[in-house]
Structure 1
């Protein structure tokens, strides 16, 4: 074991998630398929993280809606949309 002193690397984020969130912002109130995952539990968890803003790309909380749907092959699809300010205020 050895000590090598060097600057700490910058934290990285998933650019793909940020790009997806930006695309949704550019098309408010339109649903889009954003991900296919191996099972409904994982897809539901991601949808929850998007809705609540726990996924940093989809903040502030409440700015996005998301849902998961089971596919015929057993995988699950995640759909999301950016909620326009007019819709959030009503």
Structure 2
């Protein structure tokens, strides 16, 4: 079953609207992919999309964590602030 792609721009916007609140980013088939996305969110590192961008800036403005779910690993994040 194909998973829907996470809309990271939409997620980052929602996180900024609710500072300090953990929200789901997306579910990933394996923990390696989820851990990589979680790291990229925390560090503001590009997400690997064609334009090399990320909405999770500035670096350190977001925290992330992973959780095992029935069919993979879920990434959660929260906005903790930072200078734009």
TM-score > 0.5, shorter chain as reference = yes
Q: CA deviation at 1:18?
A: 1.1
Are 1:68 and 2:72 counterparts? Answer: no
Pairs aligned (count): 71
Larger Rg: 1
Superposition map of 1:28-47 within 5 A: 28-47=19-38
Q: Secondary structure at the match of 2:55?
A: helix
**C-alpha contact (below 8 Å) 2:66/2:76 kept by paired residues:** yes
Kindly indicate which of the two structures has a greater share of residues assigned to helix. Answer: 1
TM-score (norm 1): 0.71
> What is the RMSD computed on CA atoms of the aligned residues?
1.9
Match for residue 81 of structure 2? 84
Unaligned runs of 5+ in 2: 1-6, 47-53
Residue 56 of structure 2 is aligned with which of 55, 58, 70? 58
Length-normalised TM-score, structure 2: 0.76
Residue 20 (structure 2) pairs with residue 23 (structure 1): no
Choose between structure 1 and 2 for higher RCO, CA contacts under 8 A separated by at least 6 residues. Answer: 2
Runs of 4+ aligned residues of structure 1 deviating over 4 Å after TM superposition are none
Give the deviation of 1:66 after TM superposition: 0.5
Shift of 1:61: 0.3
Structure 2 contact 8–25 (Cα < 8 Å) conserved: no
